[in-house]
Amino acid sequence: MVSTDSIILVNMKPFYFALLLAVANTIQAQPPLEQFLSHPIESGFASSPDGKSVAWIVFDHGKRNIMIKTGNEPARFLTDYQQDDGQEISNIIFSPNGTKLLYVRGGAANRAGQNPNPASLAEGAEQAIYYKEISSKSPPAKITNGTNPVFFKDGIKFLFSKGGQIYESNMDINATPKLLFNARGTNSSPKFSPDGNEVLFTSYRGDHSFIGIYNLIRKSIRWIAPDVSNDNFPVWSPDGKSVAFIRTPGTKIGELSNLTGGVKFSVWIADAETGKAKMIWKSPADDGGFSQSYPNTPLAWSATNRILFFSEHSGWNHVYSMNAEGSELKDITPGNGEVESYTFDPTNKFIYFDGNREDIDRRHIWKSDVVAGNPVAVTSGENIEMYPAFAGTVLYAFRSTSNSSKTLVRIDEVSKSVIPVSLIKSTTFSTAGFVKPEQVIMKAPDRTEIHAQLFIDRNKAGKRPGIVFMHGGPTRQMLLGFHYSDYYINCYAFNQYLASQGYAVISVNFRAGIGYGRDFRRVINQGPRGANEYQDVVTAAKHLQSLPEVDMNKIGLWGGSYGGYLTAMGLSRNPEIFKAGVDLHGVHDWSFNGMDATNYWGLQQNELELAKKSSPVGDISKWTGPVLMVHGDDDRNVNFQQSTDLVEKLRDKNVKVELLILPDEVHGFLRYESWKRVFENATDFFNRNLK
């Protein structure tokens, strides 16, 4: 006799088989995280003086190495570091004859004098200068601890910085570096005169700074127009007889720097021998600060005797050109768009700059006459091009797309072709599963226009959870493709991954960020003075809720640094909208003087009460949603105690808190394994709390 249970079981077998097959197919259709995260990242371009060789840095699964290409030879790796140890490579520089390279390996020390060691290497970590003969098969040789090497004209010796002083050394591994000169202050940024006999430098003295010149023959220092001001960014004239620099006011008693403000600045020219100086241009208002700290080249003096500088007095961060007397001032990068970097062409008659001119949520390269301006587009379209540079007469840049990360390319202006310099392949990365980010333009409650990017796989059926992403900074802008910053390359990849896992993600460029002009970045009542930008996060969430593909009751949010702050704000202020959040090293109490990011807003004692109210910890009475908090305990930007404090307060309130603590990691996680762990934990967290 056959039981009815057996009959049911037999009849159900095809159903169970079909169900298991469907589940298996679903699992198989979900691409792995590494597929999105493991695209090699290229950066740090350098070229030999003759333009025949170029070198750059490749980051692949945490391994950082230098790649080089000479003439028509194929590109090859010059170094062979095989560990994901978090030791950065920077400051690549060719010798004058192009046969040698110097570079720096390791990061700068924290306040305690400790170099980043995110892999917790038992031997510790250091920041050191290495030397490599390009034609030699011998491994690189460590010369000395230090950073920012600059070759002498003979190519045998070099200058470098260490401990706030300038040293010189030869390239012998047994060399004993010697102090170039002994002077008070923090002395940095050495620049050789055109004849190689003198060194221009900046000496920071706390409330003021000087421009100095050290004569290598006379072994003497002379100061350029010393004043109570802050003098910075000095450059030599083409003939070496004059020096240009930027002057900003000295620091008054009790005065603090304020990220949301600006400073008055002026451009000065001095006789390099006598030190006598005169002002040749003055900003109309507080149009400086950001314009000098954000771009790579705040001030330049071209071989055609034009002086170029950045200013925001038009409402956008633009490059201005004038002659050495201060006349013929011209905005040579006009239009509604920011300029982030530029380079001279070999003639010095043109600059090539990158920015979001005529494509506000991307970056492209433009060419402009140094005297007349009249920008002409060099690149355009749906890709992103940034950091133009020349090697000889050949134009290089870095390019990213919606499904490929930052790659070094060669640009042919005539054919409009953009050609990768090397074809580095990852065994784990694939463009399959990426979606094309959609531009979203929204109106906040106060009618401010807010831009965002939407990541959604429209081939997936049914309702899905929504996630709001906020960048850090806040002086950042997310783009319609892979970013130019390593940190946001990883964030962009994770947003793409979340979309592949059945989420709708909106990346919101909230006010206080860059890319939309000075007034947008300097909006009043932001951050600790009222959190004005938080309304943009809510606006983005409501946009998600309005989409027919999104379950309006399943909205989460995530972000790092300033984005971590806004994540915690969402969970504490609007629990009816935000059901779960992932907070990476966020600021949680603006009133806490932790010698960290909170110091950059210039808060006075009478503002601390408002700062507290503008913080997540100001009111956690409504906080009920679960949170995953991530922090590296060697964070040099946001004090680790910002997380300690909030976690303990939430635990006291019995809010569900999950933690991922990364011992010895810094703010911008240096290891590939760290990013992978963060995103694996975040995915698991969102799956459990939003799906």
Q: Domain 41-180: what homologous superfamily?
A: YVTN repeat-like/Quinoprotein amine dehydrogenase (2.130.10.10)
Core vs surface per residue 626-658: b (16+ CB within 10 A) or e = bbbbbbbebbbebbbbbbebbbebbeeeebebb
Which pLDDT value is given to residue 651? 97
The average pLDDT across 46-52 equals 96
The average pLDDT across 324-349 equals 96
Q: What is the pLDDT of residues 159-194, one digit of tens each?
A: 999 999 999 999 888 889 999 999 999 999 999 999
The average pLDDT across 530-555 equals 97
| pLDDT exceeds cutoff 80 at 148 | yes
The average pLDDT across 274-279 equals 96
- Give the residue among 572, 506, 583 at the shortest CA–CA distance from 541: 506
Q: What is the pLDDT of residues 588-597, one digit of tens each?
A: 999 998 777 7
Core vs surface per residue 75-104: b (16+ CB within 10 A) or e = beebbebeebbbbbbbbbbbbbebebbbbb
Angle separating helix axes 672-690 and 486-500, nearest 10 degrees? 30
Which pLDDT value is given to residue 368? 98
Q: Do 332 and 319 contact (CB within 8 A), yes or no?
A: yes
Express as a percent the part of the chain with pLDDT over 90.
89
Q: What is the pLDDT of residues 413-472, one digit of tens each?
A: 999 899 999 988 888 999 999 999 999 999 999 999 999 999 999 999 999 999 999 999
The average pLDDT across 605-634 equals 96
The average pLDDT across 565-590 equals 98
The average pLDDT across 335-347 equals 97
Write the DSSP assignment of 541-570 as a string of letters: HHHHHHSTTEEEEEEEEEEETHHHHHHHHH
| pLDDT exceeds cutoff 60 at 3 | no
Rounded to the nearest angstrom, the gap between the alpha carbon of residue 546 and the centroid of all alpha carbons in its chain is 32
Which pLDDT value is given to residue 29? 57
| pLDDT exceeds cutoff 80 at 635 | yes
The average pLDDT across 125-148 equals 95
- 284: tokens are 């109309």
Q: What is the pLDDT of residues 295-321, one digit of tens each?
A: 999 999 999 999 999 999 999 999 999
Q: Do 433 and 28 contact (CB within 8 A), yes or no?
A: no
Q: What is the pLDDT of residues 238-265, one digit of tens each?
A: 999 999 999 999 999 988 888 889 999 9
Which pLDDT value is given to residue 600? 85
| pLDDT exceeds cutoff 90 at 24 | no
Q: pTM, whole model, 2 decimals?
A: 0.94
Which pLDDT value is given to residue 23? 41
Which bin fits 174, alpha (ψ -120 to 50), beta or left (φ > 0)?
alpha
Which pLDDT value is given to residue 512? 97
Q: Rounded CA gap, 605 and 481, in Å?
A: 42
Q: Do 290 and 312 contact (CB within 8 A), yes or no?
A: yes
Confidence tier at 30 by pLDDT (50, 70, 90): confident
Helix (H) / strand (E) containing 633: none
Q: Do 213 and 220 contact (CB within 8 A), yes or no?
A: no
Express as a percent the part of the chain with pLDDT over 70.
96
At the top level of CATH, which class does the domain 438-690 belong to? alpha beta
Confidence tier at 31 by pLDDT (50, 70, 90): confident
- Give the residue among 548, 386, 400, 523 at the shortest CA–CA distance from 450: 523
The mean predicted confidence, pLDDT, of the chain is 93
Rounded to the nearest angstrom, the gap between the alpha carbon of residue 499 and the centroid of all alpha carbons in its chain is 24
| pLDDT exceeds cutoff 60 at 687 | yes
Which pLDDT value is given to residue 13? 45
Q: Rounded CA gap, 333 and 547, in Å?
A: 38
Residue in the structure block whose two tokens are 């390019």:
399
- Give the residue among 472, 521, 470 at the shortest CA–CA distance from 259: 521
Q: Rounded CA gap, 574 and 580, in Å?
A: 11
Q: Rounded CA gap, 139 and 141, in Å?
A: 6
Helix (H) / strand (E) containing 689: helix 672-690
| pLDDT exceeds cutoff 90 at 10 | no
Domain ranges of the chain: 41-180, 438-690
Write the DSSP assignment of 38-52 as a string of letters: ---EEEEEEE-TTSS
